[in-house]
A and B are shown apart, each in its own frame.
Chain A
Amino acid sequence: MQLKKRSRETAEVPQAGMADIAFLLLIFFLVVTTIDVDTGIGMQLPPPPDPDQEPPPIRERNLMNILVNARGQILINEERASLHEVRQLVVDFVDNANRAQDPNLSEDPRQAIVSIKTDRQTPYEIYIDMLDEVIGAYRQLRDEASMREFGIPYRQYTARVSREDNVIRVMYPQNISLAEPDPGT
């Protein structure tokens, strides 16, 4: 009985320094962390051209040619334009069927193709500004369609439906073609 009474030696790890160690680690990770979210403009490249196959015929009116030269000047269907006009021009072109119904612009938003072509010397920055405007135009159209059909902005709509059920995406597919650049001078 006496043996049992003997109190066991308490085995304790000293905990006073633990906070310091934790602090040290914390500071290390604080310094190392870069909470950067990857943001950018998503695009889908076309598959490589098949030499045996002719490209599908596209009617002239369904194609919007945007040319950006090395100095950032913009030519849309052979006419000069400035960057802040681009969005409205793209909206008018793509959504022609529901707006002006101009016989020179696209037949249907689903068939409309926006082609962006640059020189080799065009600065990347200007190209991205251009692309941004075109995507902005599509987003505006999708927003309008979503408000009209469902009464909510497109962003909320996409959160509710899966990618396959997204009727607005089908209505306004983002057909942006990146043309091969000219060799330039």
Chain B
Amino acid sequence: MSKFQKKQANTKQQVPTAAMPDIIFMLLIFFMVVTVLREVELQVRVDFTRADHIEKIEQKRLVSYIYIGPEILGGGRFGDTRVQIDDALIDDIFAIRRLMYDKLMEEPRLIVSLRVDQKSEMGIVSDVQQELREAGTLRINYSTLRGDAAPM
């Protein structure tokens, strides 16, 4: 009837979706590979401090963590500064010696990463360090974030 019929474009207007699962799988595999499931439930608060001249730990398999910070009591309250290794809070500081020695026997190139809350005092940190010396785990790493050192 009408002379001015609308011309339809010849091209298809669909985005091809056939390859979508492949792309998704690729992403999936990437994330599966990089994921490290959280192994420990933190029972102490650890707010990292910051430093400029830091290095990366390349071999994550060698790392064992020690957490030092105020105990989380729930309800936003915090208790005294405690030491946590793996899943347990350490009551007796001298127990660290044996624990870390056992770990060193399993992995001779062990690196101990100290994750210490920035508000902790040095007393407990150096107690732990003394224990590490006794255990023979001498490679340590003070975990910090990158950034300007906080002004004093």
Q: Which residues of chain A have a CB within 8 Å of any CB of chain B?
A: 15, 18-19, 22-23, 25-26, 29-30, 32-35, 37-48, 72, 83, 118-129, 131-133, 135-136, 139, 178, 180-181, 184
User: Distance (Å) between the CB of A70 and the closest chain B CB?
Assistant: 8
B56 lies within 8 A of chain A by Cβ: yes
Contacting pair A26 B138 (CB below 8 A): no
The docked-state distance in angstroms from the alpha carbon of A116 to that of B134 is 20
Chain B residues whose C-beta falls within 8 Å of the C-beta of A123 in the assembled complex: 118-122
Q: Which residues of chain B have a CB within 8 Å of any CB of chain A?
A: 20-21, 24-25, 27-28, 31-32, 34-38, 49, 51-57, 60, 63, 111, 113, 116-123, 125-126, 129-130, 132-134, 136-146, 149-150, 152
The docked-state distance in angstroms from the alpha carbon of A122 to that of B117 is 13
- Given contacts A39-B145, A46-B133, is CB(A29)–CB(B35) below 8 Å? yes
Chain A residues whose C-beta falls within 8 Å of the C-beta of B49 in the assembled complex: 124-125, 128-129
Chain A residues whose C-beta falls within 8 Å of the C-beta of B38 in the assembled complex: 34
Contacting pair A38 B121 (CB below 8 A): no
- Given contacts A45-B140, A118-B122, is CB(A129)–CB(B51) below 8 Å? yes
Chain A residues whose C-beta falls within 8 Å of the C-beta of B141 in the assembled complex: 38, 40-43
Chain B residues whose C-beta falls within 8 Å of the C-beta of A38 in the assembled complex: 56-57, 60, 63, 113, 141, 143
User: Distance (Å) between the CB of A40 and the closest chain B CB?
Assistant: 4
The docked-state distance in angstroms from the alpha carbon of A19 to that of B138 is 49
User: Distance (Å) between the CB of B23 and the closest chain A CB?
Assistant: 9
The 10 nearest A-B residue pairs measured at CB? A120-B123, A29-B31, A132-B51, A125-B118, A38-B57, A40-B143, A22-B24, A40-B141, A45-B138, A122-B122
Contacting pair A30 B31 (CB below 8 A): yes
Chain A residues whose C-beta falls within 8 Å of the C-beta of B28 in the assembled complex: 22, 25-26, 29
Contacting pair A47 B138 (CB below 8 A): yes
Contacting pair B118 A32 (CB below 8 A): no
Chain A residues whose C-beta falls within 8 Å of the C-beta of B132 in the assembled complex: 45
Chain A residues whose C-beta falls within 8 Å of the C-beta of B146 in the assembled complex: 39
Beyond A22-B24, A46-B133, A47-B138, 7 additional contacts (C-beta under 8 Å) are A29-B35, A41-B55, A42-B140, A44-B139, A44-B140, A121-B122, A127-B122
Contacting pair B126 A118 (CB below 8 A): yes
Contacting pair A22 B118 (CB below 8 A): no
User: Distance (Å) between the CB of B104 and the closest chain A CB?
Assistant: 12
Chain B residues whose C-beta falls within 8 Å of the C-beta of A15 in the assembled complex: 21
- Given contacts A30-B31, A129-B152, is CB(A40)–CB(B54) below 8 Å? yes
Chain A residues whose C-beta falls within 8 Å of the C-beta of B118 in the assembled complex: 123-125, 128
